[in-house]
Amino acid sequence: MAEPRLRVWLARPLFEDVTARLDAHFDVMRTSVEDRYPPAAVAEHLREVDGALVTLSEQIGAEEIAAAARLRAIANVAVGYDNLDLPALTAAGVLVTNTPDVLTETTADFGFALLMATARRITEAERWLREGHWDRWSFDRMLGADLHGSTLGILGMGRIGQGIARRAAGFGMRVLYHNRKRLPVETENDCSRARYVGFNELLSQVDHLMLVLPYTAQTHHVIDAAALAKMKPTATLVNLARGGIVDEPALADALAHGRLAAAGLDVYEGEPAVRPELLALRNVVLTPHIASASPATRRAMVALAVDNLIAALGCGPDAGRPSAPVNAELLKR
């Protein structure tokens, strides 16, 4: 008798022509909803399947996999995977994969766009104009911070941080960075001759600070009131990573009281909810977690996640060798 086909859950309707490749290997449970799933609905779907392709909106931990006896692989369509409880999934033998590299350049482009919009007050100026306030040209209206000749700080010098650092050369910026580990000198040179500094030096020296580090228990609220107090009051802060890295009430307070000039945020601790105190400020640019959102990149992310899932479940040309495992230790068992 033929072996029953493996089943996978596709949690979102994503690029149907790309996800159609799953059908060659699996019975695919599709959905047409874009809504957030309550935890019980996630658990219900996972109970039935051997693998799942999910986005960062799906929160999966011990509770959601408690009844998922068949589950062996989760392919996250994101480079970040803080939506997944990695220790719980690893303990249950569930291989997790992510989508690095394919989004690096698009995200770095967006980082610069957000930095420029924030430093040069572009959305604030546009809002003001649309509201009909502009009655005469004025010499000192909407003065913003220069990028050229300034010092850019990068907290988290992974692939995206390096992409941002490389772009800084075009603006004649000096680049300082802080990371878990110093990069090799050749990489630093490629990254606009970026200089490694301690965390406190980074905070106090830079004119613009870009957050591109992974979100973990160790990086939770690493930018808190004490860290913000070390920054120049003229500085700009941009968060492209995860909302939980910043203590948002402390940030809103610093922005409201002139202890920080401006912030550009693409991510929020309780997203999609955004704190009212941030919404009320004129000197913060707010975007809805879109740093990797170009059609080509989003498509490439889905394609990589599909390949990861096929390989993680032992099918296709790379059976057993997904290219982006997160808990790779499971592959050695």
Cis peptide before 322 (omega within 30 of 0): no
Shortest distance, CB of residue 86 to ligand DGY, whole angstroms?
Answer: 14
Active site residues: 242, 271, 289
Residue type, 275: R
Residue reference for tokens 């994503």: 14
Q: Which stretch binds ligand DGY (CB under 6 A): 43-51, 72-80, 224-232, 311-319?
A: 72-80
C-alpha distances (whole Å) from 261 to each of 28, 118, 211, 246 are 50, 9, 16, 16
Q: How far apart are CA 303 and CA 282, in angstroms?
A: 39
Footprint of ligand DGY on residues 106-165 (CB under 6 A)?
A: none
Cβ atoms of 13 and 32 closer than 8 Å:
yes
219 touching ligand DGY, by CB under 6 A: no
Report the length, in residues, of the chain.
333
Of 57, 292, 308, 327, the residue at the interface with ligand DGY (CB under 6 A) is 292
Binding mask 18-57 for ligand DGY (x = CB under 6 A): --------------------------------------x-
312 touching ligand DGY, by CB under 6 A: no
Binding mask 74-103 for ligand DGY (x = CB under 6 A): ----xxx----------------------x
Shortest distance, CB of residue 79 to ligand DGY, whole angstroms?
Answer: 4
Q: Kindly state the tokens that stand for 20.
A: 């159609």
Question: Cβ contacts of residue 304 below 8 Å, gap of 6+?
Answer: 99, 102, 323, 324
Shortest distance, CB of residue 54 to ligand DGY, whole angstroms?
Answer: 12
Which residues sit at the interface with ligand DGY, rule CB under 6 A? 56, 78-80, 103, 292
